[in-house]
Amino acid sequence: MMEIIAAVLWACFAAYALWYFTKAKHYAPLTPDEAKVLWKIHKQNAGCSSTRWRKILHGGKIVGFECECGYKHIQKRLITINTPTPTIQTKTMAIYEKLHKP
């Protein structure tokens, strides 16, 4: 009996792990400019004649938009994907790279 329970628990754990790494998503924040550009792309692709859009907020951050026509776009990212870290280049780094080019 214990072998069956252990096998079922391992199968449930494997199924949960598969779902977690392939399907589980979280909201990815957008800047107001990104939301506006996505709305303009929607208008072009769909031939939408709406003139206004509304921000969709989650946790105080913009995660999407809703058009007057009823179209909704919500930006989601897989849980296992980290947010990209911005590369910041200082003036001294740029000078160093220019001097030490091969």
66 DSSP β-pair partners: 54, 72
Q: In this structure, what are the phi and psi dihedrals at residue 63, rounded to the nearest 5 degrees?
A: -120, 0
| Edge-to-edge strand list for the sheet holding 61-67 | 53-58, 61-67, 72-74
Per-residue pLDDT tens over the stretch 30-76: 889 989 999 999 999 989 888 999 999 988 999 999 999 999 998 88
| pTM for this model (two decimals) | 0.57
Percent of the chain whose pLDDT exceeds 90: 26
| CA 27 remoteness from chain centre | 6
Task: Supply the pLDDT for residue 88.
Answer: 63
Percent of the chain whose pLDDT exceeds 70: 76
66 or 86, greater pLDDT: 66
Mean pLDDT computed over every residue of the chain: 82
Please give the angle made by the CA atoms of 25, 28 and 30, to the nearest 5 degrees: 160
Closest by CA position to 73, among listed 54, 51, 86, 91: 54
